[in-house]
């Protein structure tokens, strides 16, 4: 049996696990909640067990597995993986190594205390920030060796079981509060000609400033962060080549480098990262911004999309339906998934933290989300077989009411379909759905909209032979009830996500 990998499947790419296509209906665990087995068993696992997940995204901390330099201890990780395996849950592992949220807070104490060998980035006024510079090859080599040991251990423990299906290298890399490292070493390197691989890629020659002008500081950092990521990723991939990803703290409009992590794989740096770090399979957006569709369009251009972090609030949960049906989405994951069970986020009251991240406090309000997340994940899972065959074709139309659009329409073969959204409300998800055409049937899925069908032929009309409410089991349509009379007047899905199947015909006067 092959190990988890990404491959073409029908019209899009999918993640293959146990040699079968696998969509990750995921949730990310809070940063510190995997540090002790008892805490995870008692305070995390019971809360995520009934959310419809098939995958959890969980961190592994460098400071924990290598407390003493050169001595590795994986017992906490092993016990957590064993717990997940018993619950039939898969895992995407987050490697919190040199960089996490543009800081070096998860490096071992022996590295934190050795400023001479492992220097921090310096701002222009020469004050340090708590981030190891990517110009420090000694630190990168230590991280690479630790990552090698982790991947070797995962292979030995898990290759047969395939509980771990993907690994994220570092977390939201870059530097905050400065656009680049201004240390003496960094200044000297910045003044040199750009490296030969950048000359080849960019068809330019000269110093960083001569080649990239206003973007020179960020390009300088992006180059060295990407090269560091490649070294670390390659160390792990050579022993166990699971799919490897990097995630990104996105740039918002009008922000300058340093207000977001400078040097990370933001929207216009994806191609640069793929060129400099070919061992990385996907660059993945952490989406807390409001322009969800725009961000997905950009990152799905890689051929696949994985969303390792996104908001908890009830409006954003609609995005799960849109992501899986519109894009070659491998997985979707709200952050702090254990909050959904008690609807009491660990992050909600930390306003200073949210301000630093540039995230509105509503992003961590999971009130009302649990019900919808579970239902959506279960319904999408049942719908997978037909969805994966049709995704990426003209027979599948997905839509999302994130721009307050009242009415949209599209033609599908011999039909014009009009979709009207219900007004957005604070306490409910926003309108979202998809329509899948197969022969004379339409499968309609989603919530908070109604659809009308029109013929594209002159003097012909559309009639409904059967309108059924139902669900899927193993890819087969199961009728729950047949709708007629008043309930056929509008093909409507309300506040609860549901499936309808429409058998239509055309008639003339």
Residue 351 is predicted with a pLDDT of 46
3-state SS record for 123-136: CCCCCEEEEECCCC
Give this prediction's pTM: 0.94
pLDDT of residue 360: 55
Q: Give how far the C-alpha of residue 446 lies from the chain's centroid of Cα atoms, to the nearest Å.
A: 21
Give the pLDDT confidence score for residue 484 in this predicted structure. Answer: 82
CA distance 81 to 58: 10
Measured distance CA(58)–CA(77) in Å, rounded: 10
Q: What's residue 440's pLDDT?
A: 83
Across the 509 residues of the chain, what is the mean pLDDT of every consecutive 10-residue run?
Answer: 95 96 97 96 93 97 98 98 97 98 98 97 98 98 98 97 98 98 98 98 97 98 98 98 98 96 98 98 96 96 97 92 98 94 51 51 73 96 95 96 86 91 90 93 96 91 92 92 77 94 90
Enumerate residues 6+ apart whose C-beta is below 8 A from 483: 467, 468, 469, 500
Strand partners, 120: 132
Residue 357: per-residue pLDDT: 53
Q: Collect all residues with Cβ–Cβ distance below 8 Å to 130 and sequence separation of at least 6.
A: 103, 104, 105, 120
């Amino acid at each position: 049996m092959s190990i988890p990998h990404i491959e073409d499947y029908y019209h899009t790419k999918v993640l293959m696990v146990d040699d079968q296509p696998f969509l990750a209906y995921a949730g990310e665990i809070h940063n510190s909640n995997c540090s002790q087995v008892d805490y995870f068993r008692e305070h995390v696992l019971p809360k995520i067990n009934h959310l419809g997940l098939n995958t959890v995204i969980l961190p592994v901390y460098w400071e924990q597995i290598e407390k003493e330099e050169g001595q590795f201890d994986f017992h906490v990780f092993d016990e957590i993986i064993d717990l997940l395996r018993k619950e039939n849950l898969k895992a995407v592992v987050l490697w919190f190594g040199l960089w996490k949220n543009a800081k070096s807070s998860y490096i071992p104490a022996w590295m934190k205390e050795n400023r001479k060998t492992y220097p921090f980035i310096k701002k222009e006024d020469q004050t340090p920030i708590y981030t190891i510079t990517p110009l420090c090859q000694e630190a990168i080599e230590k991280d690479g060796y630790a990552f090698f040991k982790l991947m070797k251990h995962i292979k030995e423990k898990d290759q047969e079981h395939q509980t771990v299906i993907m690994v994220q290298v570092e977390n939201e890399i870059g530097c905050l509060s400065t656009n680049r490292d201004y240390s003496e070493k960094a200044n000297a390197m910045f003044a040199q000609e750009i490296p030969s691989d950048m000359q080849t890629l960019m068809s330019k020659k000269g110093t960083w400033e001569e080649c990239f002008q206003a973007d020179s500081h960020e390009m300088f950092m992006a180059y060295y962060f990407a090269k560091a990521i490649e070294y670390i990723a390659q160390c792990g991939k050579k022993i166990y080549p699971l799919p490897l990803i990097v995630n990104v703290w996105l740039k918002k409009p009008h922000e300058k480098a340093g207000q977001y992590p400078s040097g990370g794989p933001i929207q216009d740096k994806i191609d640069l990262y793929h060129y400099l770090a070919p061992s990385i399979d996907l660059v993945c957006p952490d989406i807390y911004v409001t322009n969800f569709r725009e961000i997905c369009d950009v990152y799905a251009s890689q051929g696949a999309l994985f969303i390792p972090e996104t908001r908890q609030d009830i409006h954003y949960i609609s995005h799960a339906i849109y992501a899986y049906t519109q894009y070659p989405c491998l997985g979707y994951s709200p952050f702090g998934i254990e909050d959904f069970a008690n609807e009491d986020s660990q992050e909600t009251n930390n306003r200073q933290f949210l301000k630093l991240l540039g995230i509105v406090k509503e992003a961590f309000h999971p009130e009302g989300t649990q019900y919808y997340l579970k239902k959506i994940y279960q319904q999408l899972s049942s719908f997978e077989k037909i969805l994966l065959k049709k995704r990426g074709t003209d027979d599948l139309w997905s839509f999302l009411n994130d721009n307050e659009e009242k009415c949209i329409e599209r033609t599908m073969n011999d039909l014009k379909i009009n979709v009207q959204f219900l007004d957005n409300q604070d306490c409910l998800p926003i309108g979202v759905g998809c329509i899948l055409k197969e022969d004379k049937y339409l499968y309609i899925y989603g919530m908070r909209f109604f659809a009308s069908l029109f013929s594209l032929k002159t003097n012909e009309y559309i009639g409904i032979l059967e309108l059924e409410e139902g669900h899927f089991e193993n890819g087969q349509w199961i009728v729950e009830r047949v709708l007629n009379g008043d309930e056929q007047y509008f093909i409507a899905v309300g506040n609860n996500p549901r499936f309808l199947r429409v058998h239509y015909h055309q008639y003339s006067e």
